[in-house]
Amino acid sequence: MNAILKSKQEAAASRLDAAVLPEAAGWSKAAREDALARVRSMGLPSRRDEYWKYTRPDTLTQADAPEAALFTTDETPVFNDFDRLKIVFVDGVFSAEHSDELSLEGIEIARLADAADISWASELYGALETKGQKPVERPLAALNTALASDGVLIRCTKTPSKPVSLIYRHENSTSDAVLHHVVKVEAGASLTLLENGPAAARLNKCLEALVADGAEFHHVRAQGRDHERRAVTHMFVELGRESVFKSFTLTVNGRLTRNECIIEFTGDDAIAHVAGAALGDGDFVHDDTVFITHDAVNCESRQVFKKVLRNGATGVFQGKILVKPGAQKTDGYQKSQSLLLDGDSQFLAKPELEIYADDVACSHGSTSGAIDEDALFYLRARGVPHNMATDLMTLAFLAEAVEEIEDDGLKAELTGRLEGWLLRRSHG
């Protein structure tokens, strides 16, 4: 056995030995045990892994969560003014006290930790994650399936009157949260899922979603403002015929964020858009890793990721489009751009296309650049102060990603947040 794999397996073993395995309910027990075995065999990610070349995984894999000071702010939380079903987790633990009653017409919701045998969920829990381990291993997702202590199971049979909103509070500076959600949107229904908040000092979150034929799944996420939090998240999404999946993530601050999104088209004529806007200042690493598999005809995938980096912040993008044989008429588009506000920041991008069908349109564009000095001067010559002009151009740069949010109200909410956060930074 090679030495690298051996050391990764040792890391996995010591992590698992130190971990407290949750009391698995009967229905998820098999999936958890399977995941446990897979983690032991794969080992945990190391710096030597190609897939972790740009982002150091050690603080995500080590036994204890590195301490993260709590961030206090007088801002109202994101999505505060939206009518939504609120489900609150405090340091990774569901809080009934802060949550709404888990009931909304059109959907069934249960808490992972105390759900009785739910057949639809037992078919999915760990299943999409397992499938998503090929062709690239994602040990932290398998670790999540094994160790997840909380989360929600949402089955949407009819379009509900309002979004479901997962709120992650962070109140303990050494909390280590492992959350696993399972979502199933049944044929013809449409679900909007909101997520916001820093969650914990360290978060490992996994979301498995099955979007059935003709269903829609809209996902809008704002990852919290805590400067010191760390997070690794995985979304595994499988799309049926004529289904739609749109996901947008706004990330501001956070010492380390690795967001993986693994999408597979299994039915024809489906659409998946995944977008993100990240603002990093200083000690900040943000990694978007996306893997989209086209295994059906005439599907459209679109990736739009924008990052604004300053004071030594690092942005990473690894995006892949895999078009399987027979996935004709695939329309795949990938864009990753960074705006570097100074010479200390860096953007590392690895766009990949792997195509085995001959009638497809796939493209990717990755750019990295400084602010346009001519435009900056133009704004200043009209009386707009330097800071404000930079902010205006920063927002303009991010706008293309934010535009991917379909709902105008949510789009305006996140644009407003961005404006507010920029303003705070520039003007005290």
Partner 1 sequence: MLEIKDLRVKLEEEDKQILKGVNLTVEAGKVHAIMGPNGSGKSTLSYVLSGKEGYEVTGGSATLDGDDLLDLEPEERAALGLFLAFQYPVEIPGVGNMTFLRTAVNAQRKARGEEEMSSTEFLKVIRAQAKELKIDADMLKRHVNVGFSGGEKKRNEILQMAMLEPRMCILDETDSGLDVDAMKLVADGVNALRSEGRGFLVITHYQRLLDHIKPDVVHIMADGRIVKTGGPELALEVESNGYADILAEVAA
Binding positions for partner 1, rule: CB under 8 A: 372-375, 377-386, 388-389, 392-393, 395-397, 399-400
Q: Which is nearer to partner 1, 358 or 408 (CB)?
A: 408
Q: Which is nearer to partner 1, 345 or 415 (CB)?
A: 415
Task: Report which of 78, 59, 80 is spatially closest to residue 15, judged by C-alpha positions.
Answer: 59
Q: How far is the CB of 346 from partner 1 (least distance, A)?
A: 23
Question: Which burial class, exposed, middle or buried, applies to 382 when counting CB atoms under 10 A from its CB (0-12, 13-18, 19+)?
Answer: exposed
DSSP state of 77: P
Q: How far is the CB of 335 from partner 1 (least distance, A)?
A: 14
Q: Can you name the residues that pair with 301 across neighbouring β-strands? A: 272, 332
Q: How far is the CB of 390 from partner 1 (least distance, A)?
A: 12
Angle at 217 between CA 418 and CA 118, to 5 degrees: 125
Q: Which is nearer to partner 1, 26 or 428 (CB)?
A: 428
Dist CA 254 CA 251 (whole Å)? 8
Q: How far is the CB of 221 from partner 1 (least distance, A)?
A: 22
Token pair listed for 89: 């987790």
Q: How far is the CB of 185 from partner 1 (least distance, A)?
A: 32
Task: Report which of 180, 270, 179, 260 is spatially closest to residue 217, judged by C-alpha positions.
Answer: 270
Q: Which is nearer to partner 1, 362 or 384 (CB)?
A: 384
Q: How far is the CB of 342 from partner 1 (least distance, A)?
A: 17
Q: Can you name the residues that pair with 217 across neighbouring β-strands? A: 191, 245
Q: Which is nearer to partner 1, 353 or 399 (CB)?
A: 399
Q: Which is nearer to partner 1, 179 or 398 (CB)?
A: 398
142-171 in b/e burial notation, b at 16+ Cβ within 10 A? bbbbbbbbbbbbbbbbebbeebbbbbbbbe
